[in-house]
Structure 1
């Protein structure tokens, strides 16, 4: 336990540094998880010292936030899954964690970015009604989901500046990437070209250079001098109709009907 405590203190120093020392935190977390396993605290059962559980929960929460800051979503998934025991089974025994609902909110936005709408609603239904309506960290992803369903993409874009925690912006950026591709597909179908300034606004870019990079990825033609973006036109799929076979089949069908009559 003394080794675990020293590692825990080192993790706190790395995490709370300005800016966070993500490299050191990422290196310490696996060692701490091994220590938690050996101490029977990663998946606690039976009689456990509740102060030790608070420390274990704090380590896993730091791990979840470090994963988001490091852009490691699979790691965040694992930490969130491990935290469920502390958030549910020991909820009545442990003091509330100030990080619980920020992390729960991050998990909800993660489900949105993966288009797992059914899982989003199932997870949401497990939360108390007053938390859904009043908690800032939960209300934010709830609003995002509603705006996505409405197609109010400008509200999703503006929500980035209203994010209740810095980690939320990573997922909102991911959502905007998905939204941009959907809008781009519609533009390719509806238009042959658009003024550059209109394309920048429609795709929620803040400058023209970002649009140029995006256009190159989709194979669009950029005319800087003329201030126009031209979309790659998809050739119409032509399906050859087997006329001779259809005529022969129709005549055969007619002869058979005549014989029946």
Structure 2
């Protein structure tokens, strides 16, 4: 008979769940509970692949899944990766021993999206090989990153961008933001090589910005010149200025040009 789960471990687990599920929960407090629980789980052999304590393993899996979601909530990608690695035995070795977890495929899909956002395509395909064929074909949490990878391979960045509005769970937005930011910067790098200048409105469309002001700010961050007169972005060094021309200078120059034209006439 398996040893019962120690009461302090159960109490800390319950406190973690309550804090994590509270919309106003404290992320630092969750982190403290997770640290305590991982130590307690290890001490009680519940992170051991040879454990036969089904109840304890189910609790351990739940803790690690909460940890993975918590990592997304606080934006810690390394932490998310570690939790996913710890969860692998619970999704494979203990699959027949434990009841199915409703968080399993959402987290597997999130991990696939993480690999895409990091351009780790070989690891992405290796991870796909461990997924049940029926789930590959029909599970929405797996289909989303699969369709994204296909769009990326085809160079269909617009499809990738539009997929941000079609995420199967709110947590997917975190990695979608990273992926779309990477795409935007790749397009920007190509634009620098392909054009000498672009109208602000065209650049906004090309870079998936909804407002010209947003693309102007992005341009300045990349060191591009923004001309407020012709509403264009100029790539390269040209005159070496990265800021808009002062309004008073523009007015003064225009008046001088008008005076010179009058003299000619």
Fold equivalence (TM over 0.5): yes
Give the counterpart of 1:21 among 19, 26, 29: 26
Separation in structure 1 between the aligned mates of residue 237 and residue 22 of structure 2, nearest angstrom: 51
* Contact 1:67–1:75 (CA under 8 A) maintained in structure 2: yes
Tell me the equivalent position of 2:39.
34
* Contact 1:188–1:233 (CA under 8 A) maintained in structure 2: no
Give the counterpart of 1:67 among 71, 74, 80: 71
* Contact 2:148–2:160 (CA under 8 A) maintained in structure 1: yes
Tell me the equivalent position of 1:9.
14
* Contact 1:43–1:82 (CA under 8 A) maintained in structure 2: no
Deviations 1:49-68 (A, max 9, x none): 21111110000000001001
Separation in structure 2 between the aligned mates of residue 69 and residue 212 of structure 1, nearest angstrom: 30
Q: Secondary structure at the match of 2:92?
A: helix
Separation in structure 2 between the aligned mates of residue 19 and residue 227 of structure 1, nearest angstrom: 44
- Aligned ranges for residues 129-168 of structure 1 at < 5 Å? 129-168=133-172
Are 1:223 and 2:227 counterparts? yes
1:209 Cα shift? 3.5
Tell me the equivalent position of 1:197.
201
Separation in structure 2 between the aligned mates of residue 4 and residue 44 of structure 1, nearest angstrom: 19
Q: Which moved more, 1:158-167 or 1:199-208?
A: 199-208
1:15 Cα shift? 1.0
Count of aligned positions:
233
* Contact 2:196–2:234 (CA under 8 A) maintained in structure 1: yes
Separation in structure 2 between the aligned mates of residue 96 and residue 136 of structure 1, nearest angstrom: 17
Separation in structure 2 between the aligned mates of residue 212 and residue 19 of structure 1, nearest angstrom: 36
TM-score of the two chains, using structure 2 as the length reference: 0.84
Q: Flag as ranges the 4+ runs of structure 1 deviating above 4 A.
A: none
Separation in structure 2 between the aligned mates of residue 23 and residue 207 of structure 1, nearest angstrom: 37
Separation in structure 2 between the aligned mates of residue 83 and residue 59 of structure 1, nearest angstrom: 10
* Contact 2:68–2:84 (CA under 8 A) maintained in structure 1: yes
1:19 Cα shift? 4.2
* Contact 2:200–2:216 (CA under 8 A) maintained in structure 1: no
Give the counterpart of 1:206 among 207, 210, 217: 210
Give ranges in structure 1 of 5+ residues lacking alignment: 235-261
- Aligned ranges for residues 175-194 of structure 1 at < 5 Å? 175-194=179-198
Separation in structure 1 between the aligned mates of residue 196 and residue 25 of structure 2, nearest angstrom: 47
- Aligned ranges for residues 111-122 of structure 1 at < 5 Å? 111-122=115-126
Are 1:43 and 2:43 counterparts? no
Alignment root-mean-square deviation, CA = 1.4
Separation in structure 2 between the aligned mates of residue 135 and residue 36 of structure 1, nearest angstrom: 31
Separation in structure 1 between the aligned mates of residue 25 and residue 199 of structure 2, nearest angstrom: 42
Are 1:103 and 2:100 counterparts? no
Change (3 A) 1:209 1:28: farther
TM-score of the two chains, using structure 1 as the length reference: 0.86
1:203 Cα shift? 0.5
